[in-house]
Structure 1
Amino acid sequence: MMCADFSNLKKETQELDQAGIDIFHMDFMDGSFVPNFGMGLQDFELVRSVTEKPVDVHLMIQEPSKYVEKFADLGADIIYIHPEADQQAARTLDIIHQKGKKAGIAINPGTSVEMVQGLLPLVDYVMVMTVNPGFAGQKYLEYTDSKIEKLLALTNEYHFDVMVDGAISPEKVQQLSKIGVKGFVLGTSALFGKTSTYQETLGKLRAGE
């Protein structure tokens, strides 16, 4: 949702909801873990109030443990943390589950599967960042494909879904969905800023066009 038109955020949310979007993905940044600032609590509250669809939060912040309960109480359905930013990531994931929410980890392009494998039994989702996090409009990092493949090979053992986030084009949706990726965070590469409606765009993506 950081790529949406913020002058009409309520309308954007309603149109995406009506178009059949599966999940609303909201980025929160602190200017420290990533060199940018993302959405605010008021933005989250607005989106949450407009839709009954699942809403996830991607905490690109230092010490996410300080904020997961806040977002859970505000109505987030899925909460992603970066293990690179949390010295007690296992504990934080447990807190998310205690709040009755789905827990996920997001991993940066430079973070290996081996570095996070100990957390895989604790998560519902692993979101692979296919760009360096913090900014929209970047180029897809092709070397992350091998990491995606390694994670997909572990899904049956650890029971999590693989998601991808960063420069996800229609071509990448088709390529990665065929090998088992379950979810795609769509930004300017596939969804926002297009001449077609959201319904038309999503229809084409789902039809493999």
Structure 2
Amino acid sequence: MTALSASLFAADPFRLAEEIDAVLSNVESLHLDVMDGIFAPEFGLNARIIRDLSERSSTPLDVHLMIAKPKHLAIRFAEMGVRSIAIHLESDDDFVEISRIVRSNGTEAYVALRHTTPVSVLLEMADHSDGCLLLTAPAGGGAFDEHAFTRLAQRPAGLYTVVDGKIGPDHFESLIDLQVDLAVVGAALFDGDDAKERAKAFSRMLAGHQVS
């Protein structure tokens, strides 16, 4: 079954607590984008928000580091007790070293790849990661990558897979067929005043149920 994760970067920052409460009962986890304006052309959620969430919420927290030098923050978030940290193989720091430290703290480490990086590199990281996060749009925003499903079909068999980037309900059937484990949904979930009903509908769709 493909599960649903809510990307809080797409939520209304002035109503963040309300937006979280609206979707919590129908999502498997909360996805937290951290961006530095360098690796990705935007600035994402900050450490204080993630720390407060880790202290107040029992919902699993997945951190996605789209930053040039992720080592320091990866260690910091692992010490907060988040469930997983996705670290880009294209960043300046050594993924294997960061993964070792993160996993020693009981946090899962995922290899994150830009939508243009060949998925064949995942084979080299199999012994150093707990799964992968494949961007299906450019880091920080942009249109859905038309080659995303082809790339997903090329990933190593049995690898826990998260997809992130302009995912919407039109993509769910293909994600289910490709046995993607976790679909991160942002704008399609929070774009409007009915996030609660959308989360309920999206969760059922990803579970393979027909929405009435």
TM-score under structure 1 length normalisation:
0.88
Residue 190 (structure 2) pairs with residue 192 (structure 1): yes
CA distance 1:59–1:178, change in 2 (3 Å): same
Report the counterpart of residue 122 of structure 1 in structure 2.
128
Report the counterpart of residue 201 of structure 2 in structure 1.
204
- What SS does structure 1 have at the residue aligned with 2:11? coil
Contact 2:149 2:174 in 1 (8 A): no
1:16 and 1:206 map into 2 onto residues whose CA distance is: 10
Report the counterpart of residue 5 of structure 1 in structure 2.
12
1:81 and 1:123 map into 2 onto residues whose CA distance is: 10
1:148 and 1:81 map into 2 onto residues whose CA distance is: 18
1:88 and 1:207 map into 2 onto residues whose CA distance is: 39
The 5 Å alignment of 1:47-66 reads 47-66=53-72
Contact 1:10 1:50 in 2 (8 A): no
| Unaligned stretches of 5+ residues in structure 2 | 1-7, 206-210
Residue 168 (structure 2) pairs with residue 164 (structure 1): no
The 5 Å alignment of 1:6-155 reads 6-17=13-24, 19-135=25-141, 138-151=142-155, 154-155=156-157
CA distance 1:62–1:197, change in 2 (3 Å): closer
What letter matches 1:102 in structure 2?
A: E
Contact 2:70 2:93 in 1 (8 A): no
After TM superposition, which residue ranges in structure 1, 4 or more long, deviate above 6 angstroms? none
TM-score under structure 2 length normalisation:
0.87
Q: Deviations 1:53-99 (Å, cap 9, x if unpaired)?
A: 10011000112112211011222110110010044211111111111
**Deviation (angstroms), 1:26:** 0.4
Using CA pairs below 8 Å that are at least 6 residues apart, which structure has the higher relative contact order?
2
**Deviation (angstroms), 1:155:** 2.9
CA distance 1:109–1:187, change in 2 (3 Å): same
Q: Deviations 1:122-178 (Å, cap 9, x if unpaired)?
A: 22221110100113xx32111122110111xx233xxx3111101101021222112
What letter matches 1:168 in structure 2?
A: I
- What SS does structure 2 have at the residue aligned with 1:85? coil
What percent of counterpart residues are identical? Answer: 26
Contact 2:110 2:130 in 1 (8 A): yes
